[in-house]
Structures are given as C-alpha cells and as structure tokens.
Structure 1
Amino acid sequence: MKPVEERGMSVQPTEKVYIEILKQIKAIIVEDGLQAGDKLPSERELSERLKVGRSSVREALRALELLGLIETRRGEGTFICEATGHRLVEVLASFILNDKKARKDLQETRHIVIKECTELAVLRCDSSKISKLESLIQQMDKSGQGKIYEVCKQFEKIVIQSCGNHLLYRLYVELTGYGLSLQRTNSYWPPDLCEEVLQLLQQKNAVKLTNLLSKQNDALYRIE
C-alpha cells in the first residue's frame, strides 16, 4: 500500500488529515482480510504503514470508535466490531444534519411516512391491535409523568406497525432515530393525540386521521 503522501491527495491545511487516514485504515482492513473480532494493527504499525504521525492515527481511531466500528480493550489492543445502529445514527445526525434545511427535510419526510402508515393502519389495524391500543390509553391515565412517555412511544409504534408494511415501518424507525438524536427530546404523540388517533382508527376514518396529524405536525416535530 502506498503511503498517504504518495497517493496524489491534496489535503488542504484546514481539512482534517484523519479523514483521509480513515479511508486508508479501511483499505488496510480490506487488504489484511480483517473481520469483526479481529485485532487491528497497533498505532505504531499503522503510523509506519501510512507514513503519518501517531497523533493523527489516534484521532482516526477515536472516530472509528465513536462510530462503533472498533473497540479498545485495555491491555489487549483495538478490535473490529459490528457497527451499532443507534450510535451511528447519532453521529450521522450530528455531522450530516447539522443545518436547518436538512433538519426540515427530515421532519417533513418523517411526517410523510407517518401519514402513509396511518392511512394503511386504518385499513389493516385488526381487533387485537385495537385492544392493545385501548390498553395503552388506560395505562396513560394511570402512569406518572416519568412513565407516560414510554407508553406514548409504544402506542405510536403499534399504530405504525399496523400499516403492515415492514419497509415503511423501518423508515419510520430510522427517521425517528435521527430526529431524537437531533432534538434530544420526546417527539412521540402526546396522550391527548393518542386518544384522538385511537377514536379515528376505531371509526376507520382515514381522512380525519391524516388531517389531524397534519395539523399537529408543526407543534409535535418542530426542530428549532
């Protein structure tokens, strides 16, 4: 493998050198045939192979660890691990969605997915799902402030799952993950909205349900 300086890369002084080092570490992993559970070369070896300073290698390794791609075990070294979805979501949200336009697009896309899911849920939500939702509404009345958030979260997820479309549900899960990473606050339906949603599902009134969610959208998913 050619060192970083010999690959024709033009790294501007203001750019982070470790970004290019990340790419080269990935190339080393491929070249060495390393897989999850395998040990990475040491900082010293990586520094020598890439012809860069150990501090830059260390910074790149920290970034990989933040992404959940590697883990450092004291006294053993650094090992490759499977990426953990929730940490990756947080990192991408912090770096990629750090502007108002991207955050607004996420908010809009999430609302579109929820709208489509609830429309399908009106058609596909069976009696067993309705019973579960009714039970959750009862729990909301009995839950304290600390627990009611989890009940509302479960209620919304059951409604979305009731759409019967696994791909739409996965989109909802991922978009919700990004949104929570950005806001660090509760974006799920509040109890009063959950009650209205249940009533409209029972009535199988798709038009009123989607209108209700549209009216609530700005208040529920606003990202400052």
Structure 2
Amino acid sequence: MTFEKVAQTRFKKKSSFIADQILRMINSGGYTAGSKLPSERIIAEQMGVSRPSLREAISALQIVGLLESRPGDGTYVCVPSATEDLTRQALTVLEECDSPYENMQARRAMEIGAAQLAIKVATDADLVALREAWDEKCARGRRGDLEEYLRYGKEFHLAIARATKNRVIEGIMERLLNLTIQPLWINMRREYFRNDPSRIELMLDIHDRIVKAIMERNTEKAIRELEHHFDIQIEQIYNQNDENSHEHQVKSTPIADDKGGDNGNIC
C-alpha cells in the first residue's frame, strides 16, 4: 500500500491531510489493527511531505488512540477502523493546535536574541530570579516529575525574557510558551521523554550551561548553548519514532567549555 502525494485540500494544514490519508488507509483495510505502518521516512517520501508535518499527524492519531509508536520499532495501528468521532477528534487537534515544530523554530530565534539582550541589561536581581526559576525546574526534573518539570520550564524561559526589560519580548515569549500547553505539544514532549527517560538528565545539563553562560554574561557561550539545545531537541523529537531514526539524527558534536574540556552529547 502506498500513500498519495499531498494536494490542495479542505484542510488548513498539511498534517491534517496526512492524518486523513492514514485514516482512509486504515478504514479501507490497507492497514489492520496490529499492523505496522511503513517507516516515517518512506511515508514522507510517498506523500511528498516534511517529516515535521508527518510527525505531528502521527502524534494527533496517538492522542486519540488510533496509533501507537514503539521506540526503536515503528508505528502500529491500534484499532480495526477509525470511527467518525475519533477522526473528528484527531483532525480537530491538528487544525486547532499550532505546530510544535514552528513554535520551537520561533523560540530558537527569539530566545537567542533575548539572551543576548538580557546579558547586556539584566540587573543582579534579574539574574537571581533566573537562577531561582532554574533551581525549581531542575529540582523537579531530578525527581522525575515530568509534568511539573515541563510546567516550571515556562517560568524558567520567561525569566530570561523578563531579564531583557522589554515588554514586547516578554509578551511574545509568553505567547509562544503558552502554546506549549496545547495537546499536540504535550503529547510530543511526553513521548520524547517516555521513549528515553535519560533525556531529562541531558536537558538539565544543557539548561544548566545556558544559565551559567547568562550569569557569567558570556554572550558567545549563551548563543552556542541555546542553538545546540533547540537544534538537538527538534531533531530528536521529530525523528524519535522511526525504527531507523538513529540513521537520521544529528550527531551531537561535543562543545568545549571555557577550560578546554567537553561535555559529550547534550540534548
């Protein structure tokens, strides 16, 4: 069974068309309950779509229980057919949620600039507030409390924005961070950590380096760490469920610290 190329449709987003086509395949008997879908790379090539759009479509189908992704194996069909209600739910998630991929791209651009400005204008009180926000986030991450870790992540990133003393930047950052409580984003982040719980430690490591760079007012180091953080996170989230995903992931280059050492692979 092969998938069709994406064409102009009634949907606002390509991810909705992708999900709709997968659902049609299931309902036509092309893929039965318990069967495995082709790899995400193959589906993306057949449809002529990007991996991010496909990953978001699959995530929406996971949310409503139609698909199950098994780390290192692939994606499996969970039901013999998709009811109208489940189909509507999945497509509503995609049509009404903003793209996590686009959100992370926007945050990458915004936060790097915000960190640069914060380093220039932040007061000692601002840096204390940033450190306190980071300590709260870190404590929850080390306890393995994923939900609280993600919730306090917003406060940490807002602390960077507040340190810029710029209300426009703070407002834009708050809006971007508010989008991370949408169902599509939440599911993709949960899957990201569920597939490999050790990623929390990796994320704590890179966030700690970001905080230290800002506290030291080291612009070059802060930019480097933020770029690395977003680039690796995007790559891993959007390739995590392909049985061949290790072939497509960016190989993390060790980043030397100011003393000439390296920190190994960071997320």
Normalized against structure 1, the TM-score is what? 0.48
Structure index of larger Rg: 1
Normalized against structure 2, the TM-score is what? 0.41
Which fold has the larger relative contact order, with Cα–Cα distance below 8 Å and residues 6 or more apart in sequence? 2
